[in-house]
């Protein structure tokens, strides 16, 4: 470990796994601004000590430590929150599911580390394919008897961020900073279902069918836009760091500072609020879904019921469900029954 200060109190310690990567570095920089974090532990199989040394000079509250290849245990020990952007990104022509082969094992090993060294931590998963990596984390924690569905989140905030931004490009009445769009389903292609009909002022209703289809498609495939533009050099990193910091800060504000009324769309295990989701689970057979979640001290305090969907959005949701099921089964089986992969 490379430490730049002494602080053994990890009650509000945050670990970034994959901290030296394209997302990990700017995400760490953004989280270094937080007054709610006392210890920022940067773990990566390469370059973490250098990134930590650099960030540790910034005059904000947190101590920064860097942990290399063999430092997973000391990084995770007693952590409050673990954010996981570790793994490979897409290249042009790949789907997120194409990353499963490499990223599933990386995420499994990190989840094992969480189960052993910080079993009570909030786990925030960025690594793709999120629709499958979140079930992987949950199954590992279940195997260790430490699973709390209120504490595991797939970060799908980039879809929310894109929705506000792309919608604002079509209407000057939309302030992208303050307009929050609910995005349900999952985090890949057709599983991304933006509920544009809920934007105040009749925005979606004012669009032609062609405009609405084009906007929906742009949100669902916004990731591809970046992968194509980066031309082999990876996928979204800076916008993802922004989205990841927004989501992590919301979790910390609720769980550390006790702030109430915070809501984000996020991909969760629906057992996190079994009562509110019972009818939906029975109807769809889904165990995981992205939906608006209210945060509390323990993580998920409530999963909101689905907003009223337009006919267009219902069609999108109907198309999302079968693909989500395949993604979820694949992630779950990776831990429970590898013969099915």
Ligand X SMILES: NC(=O)c1ccc[n+]([C@@H]2O[C@H](COP(=O)([O-])OP(=O)(O)OC[C@H]3O[C@@H](n4cnc5c(N)ncnc54)[C@H](O)[C@@H]3O)[C@@H](O)[C@H]2O)c1
Q: Which positions touch ligand LMR (CB under 6 A)?
A: 89-90, 96, 128, 158, 223, 226-227, 235-236
Name which of 22 and 71 has its Cβ closer to ligand LMR: 22
Residues 122, 249 contacting (CB under 8 angstroms): no
CB 152 to ligand X: min, Å: 14
Is 9 assigned a ligand-binding role in the annotation? no
226 contacts which partner out of ligand X, ligand LMR, none, CB within 5 to 8 A by kind? ligand LMR
CA distances from 317 to 189, 258, 306 (A): 12, 34, 11
Q: Record the tokens describing residue 176, joined without a space.
A: 């992208």
Burial of 84: CB neighbours in 10 Å, binned 0-12, 13-18, 19+: buried
Looking at beta carbons only, is 50 or 234 nearer to ligand X? Answer: 234
Alpha carbon 143 to its chain centroid, in Å, reads: 22
Q: How many CA atoms lie within 13 A of 320 on its CB side?
A: 25
Percent helix, strand, coil in the chain, to 5, is 50, 15, 35
Residues noted as catalytic: 187
Q: Which is nearer to ligand X, 36 or 48 (CB)?
A: 48
| Chosen from ligand X, ligand LMR, none, partner binding at 23 (C-beta under 5 to 8 Å by type) | ligand X
DSSP-derived secondary structure letter, 169 = T
Whether residue 131 is annotated as binding a ligand: the answer is no
Determine if residue 19 is labeled as part of a ligand binding site: yes
Shortest Cβ contact with ligand X: which residue? Answer: 21
Q: How far apart are CA 204 and CA 314, in angstroms?
A: 14
Residue 96 marked in a binding site: yes
Angle separating helix axes 222-230 and 157-168, nearest 10 degrees = 90
CB of 329 to ligand LMR, least distance (A): 20
For the four alpha carbons of 77, 297, 239 and 92, in that order, the dihedral sign comes to positive
328 is in an annotated binding site: no
Residue 47 assigned to a binding site: no
What does the alpha-carbon distance between residue 186 and residue 268 come to, in Å, rounded to a whole number?
9
State which residue, 235 or 266, has the beta carbon closest to ligand LMR: 235
C-beta of 95 vs 276, nearer to ligand LMR: 95
Where are the alpha helices (H) located in 47-202, listed in sequence order? Answer: 48-55, 72-76, 100-117, 130-143, 157-168
Binding residues for ligand X (CB under 6 A): 17-18, 20-24, 43-46, 85-90, 99, 103, 106, 109, 126-128, 130, 155, 158, 187, 234-237, 240
126 is in an annotated binding site: yes
Measured from the CB atom, is 173 or 238 closer to ligand LMR?
238
* Closest CB 159 distance from ligand LMR, rounded Å: 7
Contact by Cβ (8 Å): 242, 30: yes
Instruction: Tell me how far, at minimum, the Cβ of 94 lies from ligand LMR, in Å.
Output: 8
- End-to-end CA separation in angstroms for the chain: 36
Collapsing DSSP to helix, strand or coil, 293 comes out as: strand
Residue 227 interacting partner from ligand X, ligand LMR, none (CB closer than 5 to 8 Å by kind): ligand LMR
In angstroms, what is the minimal distance from the CB of 220 to ligand LMR? 10
86 binding partner (options ligand LMR, ligand X, none; Cβ < 5 to 8 Å by kind): ligand X
Binding residues for substrate: 90, 96, 128, 162
Binding-site residues from annotation for NAD(+) = 18-24, 44, 103, 126-128, 240
Annotated binding site: 18-24, 44, 90, 96, 103, 126-128, 162, 240
């Amino acid at each position: 470990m490379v430490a730049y200060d002494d602080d053994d109190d990890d009650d509000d310690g945050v670990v970034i796994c994959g901290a030296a990567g394209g997302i990990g570095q700017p995400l760490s920089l953004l989280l270094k601004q937080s007054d709610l974090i006392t210890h920022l532990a940067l773990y990566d199989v390469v370059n973490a000590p250098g990134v930590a040394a650099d960030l540790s000079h910034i005059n904000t509250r947190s101590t920064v430590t860097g942990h290399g290849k063999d430092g997973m245990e000391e990084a995770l020990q007693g952590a409050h929150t673990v954010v996981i952007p570790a793994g490979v990104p897409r290249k042009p022509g790949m789907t997120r599911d194409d990353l499963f082969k490499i990223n599933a094992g990386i995420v499994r090993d990190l989840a094992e580390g969480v189960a052993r060294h910080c079993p009570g931590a909030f786990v925030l998963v960025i690594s793709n394919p999120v629709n499958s990596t979140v079930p992987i984390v949950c199954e590992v924690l279940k195997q260790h008897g430490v699973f709390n569905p209120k504490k595991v989140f797939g970060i799908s905030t980039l879809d929310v961020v894109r929705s506000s931004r792309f919608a604002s490009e079509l209407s000057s009445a939309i302030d992208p900073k303050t307009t929050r769009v609910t995005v349900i389903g999952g985090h890949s292609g057709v599983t991304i279902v933006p509920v544009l009909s809920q934007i105040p002022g009749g925005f979606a209703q004012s669009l032609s069918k062609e405009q609405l289809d084009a906007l929906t498609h742009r949100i669902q495939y916004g990731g591809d836009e970046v992968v194509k533009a980066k031309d082999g050099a990876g996928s979204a990193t800076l916008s993802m760091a922004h989205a990841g910091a927004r989501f992590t800060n919301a979790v910390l504000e609720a769980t550390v500072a006790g702030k109430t009324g915070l809501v984000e769309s996020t991909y969760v295990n629906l057992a996190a609020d079994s009562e509110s989701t019972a009818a939906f689970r029975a109807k769809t057979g889904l165990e995981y879904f992205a939906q608006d979640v209210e945060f509390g001290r323990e993580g998920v305090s409530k999963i909101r019921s689905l907003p009223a969907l337009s006919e267009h959005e219902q069609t999108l949701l109907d198309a999302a469900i079968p693909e989500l099921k395949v993604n979820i089964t694949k992630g779950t089986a990776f831990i429970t029954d590898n013969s099915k992969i």
